[in-house]
Structures are given as C-alpha cells and as structure tokens.
C-alpha cells in the first residue's frame, strides 16, 4: 500500500509522523465542523470524515507493521 515497502526506516518513521499529524488534524476538524450547533450537515459529510479517518488509520497500521518488520531484521 502506497509503496511503503521500498522506503528506508528513517523515511518510514517520517511518514508515520506525518500520517499521525494528518489524523490528528482531521479529527480536530471533524470535531469542530460536526460540533457547530445550528449548522445542518448532510449524513454524507459524517461518512466522508469517517472514510478519511479510517484510510489514514490503515496507512498508519501499514507503516507501523513495516517498521516492526524492518526493525526485527
């Protein structure tokens, strides 16, 4: 996924940090947007946030697994 297999350990660590920051920012944005009272949002907005968050979480899991594999070799 994402061509991570060919990346060096240091690059994987940087990518992991970047993904974690993206996830944090997206979760903050979702909290702000969905927490606004008086603003009607379609259900697709909630689903969009969930899909993006799940995608980033899967990428994080992939990178963490690769780091563990490369670290144990």
Domain membership flag for residue 54: yes
Task: Output the pLDDT for position 3.
Answer: 84
The pLDDT of residue 73 is 67
pTM: 0.86
- Residue 1 falls within a domain, yes or no? no
- Contact (Cβ atoms closer than 8 angstroms) between residue 12 and residue 67: yes
Distance CA 71, CA 35 (A): 41
| Residue 2 confidence (pLDDT) | 66
pLDDT of 63 reads 97
Query: Does residue 15 lie within any of the structural domains?
Result: yes
The maximal CA–CA distance of the chain, rounded, in angstroms, is 54
Q: Residue 8's pLDDT is what?
A: 92
Range of the domain at 35: 7-71
Report yes or no on 33 lying in a domain: yes
Helix and strand counts by DSSP (H, E) for the chain: 2, 0
Is residue 43 in a domain? Answer: yes
Give how many domains the chain has, as a whole number.
1
For all residues of the chain together, what is the average pLDDT? Answer: 91
For residue 2, tell me if it sits in a domain: no
């Amino acid at each position: 996924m994402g061509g991570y297999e060919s990346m060096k350990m240091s690059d994987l660590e940087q990518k992991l940090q970047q993904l974690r920051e993206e996830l944090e920012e997206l979760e903050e944005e979702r909290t702000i947007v969905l927490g606004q009272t008086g603003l009607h949002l379609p259900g697709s907005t909630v689903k969009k946030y969930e899909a993006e968050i799940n995608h980033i979480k899967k990428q994080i899991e992939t990178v963490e697994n690769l780091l563990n594999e490369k670290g144990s070799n």
